[in-house]
Amino acid sequence: MGVNASRLVRVAVTSAALVAGVAGAVAASAQVDAGSARRAAPAPAARPAASAPLLRRLAIPVAGVSLKDLRDTFDDGRPGHRHEAIDIPAPLGTRVLAVDDGTLVKLFRSVPGGLTIYQFDPEARYSYYYAHLDGYAEGVREGMRLRRGDVIGYVGTTGNAAPDAPHLHFAVLKLPPGKEWWKGTPINPLPLYRKSLAH
């Protein structure tokens, strides 16, 4: 091989080495930058917790009953299910009062609940359920407008209530999109009463 050819080979080898070195440096730099970016990238924002139900200030649904008389029976067991309501004992025939303004949407007799009333709040977001009634108040009818404190019925023992234990079974449900009066997500009303009536 001649001198000139030998020089050309050395130049080519040197150039290749330089190119490889630059490529390696670029790759290493890219890896560092990627690692830095991964370290610097903010963590995904935590998903917010579900908001607590926003309920209106409710009246106690049995005349003469105060906050101190209420007991939490929401999580008590019942045959095959959770209670998901509060029981408010009172003498037979005690007046049952509408807890909120709204509309009386259903008068219904069922095997477990006996004589019952379903009321929607003014925005039809929540349903109020009154059960084991001894009777309805005079003039009560489906579709009528109710005002907070209106007499709608009387404490009884209809349905599966014990004959010697008259009480009102009272439940609050968040209505589904279809607004079916017999459906909804149960909400324990007692914490709401404690928060709104304790002051």
For the segment 68-110, what is each residue's pLDDT rounded down to a tens digit? 999 888 777 677 667 688 999 999 999 999 999 999 999 999 9
pLDDT band of residue 53 (cuts 50, 70, 90) is low
b/e code 84-95 from CB counts within 10 Å (16+ = b): bbbbbebeeebb
Three-state SS sequence of 36-54:
HHHHHCCCCCCCCCCCCCC
> What per-residue confidence (pLDDT) applies to 85?
87
Q: Is the pLDDT of residue 2 over 70?
A: no
Q: Is the pLDDT of residue 48 over 50?
A: no
Q: What is the mean pLDDT of residues 153-173?
A: 96
> What per-residue confidence (pLDDT) applies to 56?
77
Q: Is the pLDDT of residue 31 over 70?
A: no
Q: What is the mean pLDDT of residues 145-155?
A: 98
Range with the poorest average pLDDT among 31-40, 54-63, 66-75, 150-159: 31-40
